[in-house]
């Protein structure tokens, strides 16, 4: 059960139409279209729905899949893994634990140390860049 619950109307007011499709209807943005695919800034990626801290930029890597990829979440408690059998495939959906928003999917073909590839939609994320020392 998500910690933050909002009505459908509240979500529609809070999110852009594209974000609503991804976060609340488990949509997927087109590959290579997201703003964070080629992002290399140092910082923390937060849930675009509720602001929960999900991924650190130190775990982001170039997977070549067309979506921002991370090899680990910021702890086991920040995301939920859900069996997904849609579209004739067997996958593991990733949702924000705090608000239940769809983030993307996780696969077991990532790099060490975890072997996981968290393949996330840019629309589900909000990067909070860390300031650089002058």
Sequence ranges of the domains in the chain: 8-129
1 pLDDT band, cuts 50/70/90, is low
Q: pLDDT at position 76, please?
A: 85
Single out the residue of 31, 101, 39 nearest to residue 70, CA to CA. 39
Domain boundaries 8-129, CATH class: mainly beta
Active site residue 96: no
| Whether pLDDT at 46 is above 90 | yes
The residue written with tokens 């849930």 in the block is: 47
Instruction: Write down the residue that tokens 């990733």 correspond to.
Output: 94
pLDDT, residue 121, reads: 98
Residue-level pLDDT at 89: 78
- Which residue among the candidates 47, 50, 99, 119 is catalytic per the annotation? 119
Does residue 42 register a pLDDT over 90?
yes
Confidence (pTM): 0.92
């Amino acid at each position: 059960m998500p910690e933050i619950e909002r009505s459908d109307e509240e979500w529609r007011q809070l999110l852009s139409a594209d974000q609503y499709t991804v976060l609340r209807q488990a949509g997927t943005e087109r590959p290579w279209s997201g703003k964070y695919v080629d992002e290399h800034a140092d910082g923390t990626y937060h849930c675009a729905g509720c602001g929960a801290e999900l991924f650190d930029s130190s775990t982001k890597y170039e997977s070549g899949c067309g979506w921002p990829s991370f090899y680990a979440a910021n702890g086991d408690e920040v995301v939920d893994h859900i069996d997904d059998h849609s579209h004739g495939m067997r996958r593991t959906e990733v949702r924000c634990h705090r608000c239940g928003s769809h983030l993307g999917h996780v696969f077991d073909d990532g790099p060490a140390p975890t072997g996981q590839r968290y393949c996330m939609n840019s629309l589900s994320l909000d990067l909070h860049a860390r300031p650089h020392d002058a």
